[in-house]
Structure 1
Amino acid sequence: MKNSNNNNNNKIIIILIIISCFFIKTIKPDMFNGFIDLSEKSNGTILYKTNSNDLIIASSFEGELFKIQVSKKSIILKSTLNEGIKLSSNEKSSGFFDEKNNNFYLASTSYNTSIQISIFSSIDLTYLTSIFIYNENIPFNENCLFVDNDSNIFFISTNSIYKLKYDSNNKNNKLKIIQSKPLPGECIIPSSSVFNLDRNLLLLGCTSTYGTLYEINMLDLSITANHIYYYGEGIDTLILGPKNSFSFLEGTQNYAYHLVSFTFKDIETSVYRNRETYFGRPTSASSDNDRFALYIFSHDILLFDLTDITNNPYDIDYLEEVVGLSSVYSSNNNLITISTNSSRIYFYQIPSSPQDSIPIESFFIISPIFIVLIIFIIFSIKLIYSKCFKIKKDNNNDDDDDDDDENILKNEIEKGEEGNNNNIVEIYNGDYKLIK
């Protein structure tokens, strides 16, 4: 009987723990919103930035191009790159999908000594033309190549900034360089960039003795201002943020990385946020240009609320078996697509309102409270159950004692009759008493 009761108690506890875990899970739902495999097997894929709200283009290290519709999470077009265009996990590449002009621009490394900038039709992913820039390299992957509102193509190399123009009506020279400017001598190597088309402003981060940020006029490629930050040697993963601001990460192995945000009005004095992080240098970053920024640190996925004054991330997720390589934001469904060192890409849901999920710091505060509450409920139920069982057991024992008394009395009476004894039985309020 005792073992059975213990088993029942254990079952109740297990059920309550499962319910509590499910309840806690519903407080902070998983931000991942599905995935697709671009091919049967791949060593990795790269996603390219775009001005489209729903379509993105990806390439694999095996030389394939994919056109993906994010809202349907499906591949709508696939093609193979020309043999002359090489993509490798050991080499950087950068690209931009211009939905406005139905073109896809791709910068790839050629023989480790030059850059090949190629143009494809985004309608059917067919190759159109290309141009070579010699004795140059690609310094970083994201925002190294982009297009402005006038269809000018900008490319940042290790030594210079180039402005190119594509003329589909010119059969002899469709793609040509129309302007170039060398980078300042203090810039050892460019580390990241971001552009604000409304202001015709390009922000270029450089690795130097200390991280240096240059403001560049996109009309004539002139440097209008520069700013030095002392958190490390380079400005990493520049992104656009809320309230006409921009953000970047800076740090070293010996100095903690800081997530720094500034407004465009007066970059030198308008510190907006300055938060210390502990995850090192990210491989990719994307933002919704309004509130949230997602950073990929190898296996770790961190979502920051750029309007929050705390150092805590809004959400933390983990890629178990793969490493994140690149990311692109799609405003149509408020999703960020993440590529990995495999054929699989993931879709990450950005909250559309503060109520969509609870920030990570609130989650860690609420979770212990719920755990304590669940433990209290478990022990209360167990105590009530034990008392009820004890009362029931005592009642059963009383009934057994009454039965025993009646049996004893009956036996005594039978013995008295057999021995002709003059025993007298008296009744006192329902209780039997044997008097000799």
Structure 2
Amino acid sequence: MSPTFRFVLIPALIMALVAAAMFGVGRLRRLWEEPPAKVIEQMAPVQHRAEIEFVEGVGRLRGVIRNADGSRNTEPVRLEYRSIRGSSRDAEKFAGVWGEVTDSFDVQVPSGNTYLVAFRPRSMNVAWAGPIANHANGLLGDLELVFREGTPHQFQVADYRDNILPGATVLARPMFGFDDEGEFFPPDQVDGDVLTYSSWTEGLTYMVAASAPGFVEYRVPVRHRPGQFDLVNVYQDLIATGIVVGPDGAPVAEAEIRLSGITEHEAPFRHEQTNHTLLAKTDADGRFALSGLIEHASYQGLIIAPDYRRMTFDAIRASQEEVVFQLPPLRTVYVQLQGDLSTITTDDHAGGPPQLCLQVSQHYVVGPEGSRHPKVHHTTDQFPLTTRHVYYPGIFGHTVDMELGPATLKLRPEQIAGTGDIKVLFDLTSGSSAVSLLPVSTSEE
């Protein structure tokens, strides 16, 4: 190994490696110190907790209310609670206002994962605690609600091409857990198209509802950071028109058009999907106008005539005109019962005497045009049985299940696929049933 390599090149190489390492550490430190990119849509500030089982009842929550400097609050504030017991669709949700308190509180709240929220008058800078594991007959006596220093939050409202909209409005409300309802508050200041809330709480998520003349209201959760300025986009409120007619081409008045789903096409932001929302009713001439539609979406749903003729639609879009929906012929299931009716009584969920009833459930598919994964919906209707003969009008689903107490019957696909009425004979003694197809014009004898 030459002296030049040993005493010149090796030291130079070591110094270069050290310098590169120091540069890398410095760059990583700068990356750690850079603020996060602005995100318009954030989840509410709910901690992920292990599932806790809460029994029915109330718990007692007690504590103090302080200012940011640690001093006790001296002005009256409104105390509210949000509590959720259980999970998923079976969860029980409770919300209420306890009234005014000052520097302390001692309240009883329905058990569950609970938020306590203190609102100052005419301010959305709030103090909160939660989620709290609030158990029935329990006592939590060392809680603190602290009002942190609030900072401004500003908005502008634009269309989806980011053109600022004149006359736009914004309303907002603090979110806690499941809550995005209740009273929404306007900005403290409007300066042209800039809308300013003077005091929001850092780290808290607010539900924001933005709207403008001729545009559909858009709601989005926004998490506040000091000095934040957000542009909220809304879609233009567009209309589709059409007519609903029967098999003979005659207009059908008072037909309901219900929304079951929305499919977005190249939309720049999320739009909330709805389920079974009533969009419109047809007039005396069978005509309808669907408003509140957005440009980059198609709509699927269900049409229900007053005589229970029903059909689905897959892809109506904004600005379409004179769309024609032709209802199929009315199909009816006639049920004739034989045997002892007392064997099919059903307990009343409200605690009343057992009832004799027929329950019919229909499953039907509604999905975007060409979708591989359409959504299955269902309707369930119950009819008290006062006679051995009963009829159910409006068969249209892909599957039809019928229940009479312990007796059940599922209509086969080939029976549903027909065009005529359906007659069902139930023998309650043997539990057997017979199904026959009838002409469309058949009426019950």
What range is the shorter-chain TM-score in?
under 0.3
TM-score (norm 2): 0.27
- Higher RCO (CA-CA < 8 Å; seq separation 6+): 1
TM-score (norm 1): 0.27
Structure with the higher helix share, 1 or 2:
1
Structure with the higher strand share, 1 or 2:
2
